[in-house]
Amino acid sequence: MRPNPVVKAAMIALASFISLLFVFPYLWMIAASFRDTEAILTAPLRLWPESFSLKAYRDILVLSGEPLSTYLINSLLITGASTVFTVLTSLMGAYALTRAPHLPGFGLLRVGFLLVIMYPYMLLVLPVYLVMFQLGLLGTTIGIILFLSVGPIQFFLFEQFFKSIPREVIEAARMDNASEMKILMRIVAPMSMPVVMTVILITVLLNWAQWFPVLVISRSTDTYTLPVALLSLNSELGVNFQGIMALATLTTLPVIIVYLLTQRRVMEGMISGAVKG
């Protein structure tokens, strides 16, 4: 059966329309950040700004007494550091739990971990306030980073990967009297590079978006990230709609760029993480 060109064109048109619906909010957001209030009120649907006004971006250069750069640096620092921690801990943890699942305590650890990811996340964050307080980490960047370092999808991705390594590879190394450390560093680590890259990417994307733990653990705007700043823009003192859209654009655009550059890896990573979980 030869594909009918009319059917094909219709399908592509339909898919394009649906895709536009999915992308529309972003285009609208970006457009709104450059347009003035009057223009938005009269032509809400217009996507190409009549003029590129940077006023909204100038307005948000200082938010709640902190320069915008503080929020940006916090976002980068918190995302970066929590990604390093998440990847290292879940890599080593998943490796230990797959290589030696029967060691005393490991079964329990796995069940405990499953319980944690089952717990409603936003309600877990609230008692975390008390934990942070008791650890003296309330209001610190380190506290936020540590909390964000518990990652379910990351653990499952690594676990699944390690399970796929043929036993013989490791057994052969053991026969050569290599230490466990050596096996990990010389044999497993090089093989894991692609999966590690995927996990890093996914973690960066996920942790960049985190806002609730940051809000709860913070004690001042010093430790706020871009999404939290965005949430705080709605206050009793008035709303700067264009400013909100400008900040939303700044919060979203880096992620979109990273995603467009690495799409295949991100999607495949998400699939394998989900399939395991």
Partner 1 sequence: MVAIPVPAARPTLIQRLDGAAIFYVFALPFAALTIVMGLWPIALSIQTSFTESFTALSPEPTFVGLENYREIFADPQFIRSINLTLLYTVLSVALNLTVALAYALFLNSPLLGRAAMIFKLCVFLPVITPDLAGYIVWKWMYNTDFGAINAGLNALGLPDFAGTSSQSTAMISLLIAELWYHVGFYVIIFLANLAMIDKSLIEAARMDATPPWRMFTRIILPQLRPAIMINSVYALIQFLKTFTVVVVITKGGPAGSTNFVSYHAYQMFDQAQYGKAAAMASTLFAGVMVLAFFVYWLNQRADWR
Partner 2 sequence: MASLRRLKKLILAGTASSMIAASPAIAEELVVWHDLGDNGIAWFEALNELYQAENPDVTITSVSFPTDQWFGKVIAALNTNTAPDLIYNNYERVIRIENQTDKVADLSDLLAAQGDLPFLTESDKGVAMYDGKMIILPIQRVQMAFGARKSWLEAVGEDMPQTWDDVMRVAKKFQTEDPDGNGADDTFGMALQAARPRDLIHMLDLYTFGAGLRHTLIDPDGNIVIDQPEHKAVLTEFLKSFTDYGLVSPDTVNHSFGEMYQLIEGGRAGMFRVGDWNVKKWDGEDVLGGDFVIGEWPSHGDSENAVVIGGMRGVAVPENSPNKDIAMDFAAFMLSAEAQKASLENVGAAVRGDFDIEGFSERRLYFAKPEHDLNAYDFPESVHAFYPELEAEYHRVLLDAIVNPPDDWASFIDETAEAMRAKATELAG
* 71-100 footprint of partner 2 as x/- string (CB under 8 A): --xx-xx-----------------------
State which of positions 54-93 bind partner 1 (CB under 8 A).
85, 88-90, 92-93
37, 164, 179, 263: which one binds partner 2 (CB under 8 A):
37
State residue 47 phi and psi, 5-degree precision.
-105, -20
User: Taking CB within 5 to 8 Å according to partner kind, which of partner 2, partner 1, none is near residue 74?
Assistant: partner 2
Q: Which string of x and - marks every residue 98-117 that binds partner 1 (by CB under 8 A)? A: -xx--x--x--x--xx-xx-
Q: Write out the two tokens for 163.
A: 């399970």
Interatomic CA distance for residues 44 and 25, integer angstroms: 12
DSSP, collapsed to helix, strand or coil, labels residue 224 as coil
Q: Report which of 241, 238, 209 is spatially closest to residue 226, judged by C-alpha positions.
A: 209
Q: How far apart are CA 130 and CA 217, in angstroms?
A: 9
* Closer residue to partner 2 in complex, CB, 63/266: 63
Instruction: State the Rg of the chain over Cα.
Output: 23
SS3 63: strand
Name the nearest CA neighbour of 93 among 152, 41, 44: 152
- Which residue in 140, 209, 221, 265 binds partner 1 (CB under 8 A)? 209
Q: Considering only residues 118 through 157, tell me which ones interact with partner 1, judged by CB under 8 A.
A: 118-124, 126-128, 130-131, 135, 146-147, 149-150, 155
Summarize as ranges the residues that interact with partner 2 (CB under 8 A).
37-38, 41-42, 55, 62, 64-65, 69, 73-74, 76-77, 129-130, 133, 136-143, 215, 219-223, 231-232, 234-239, 241
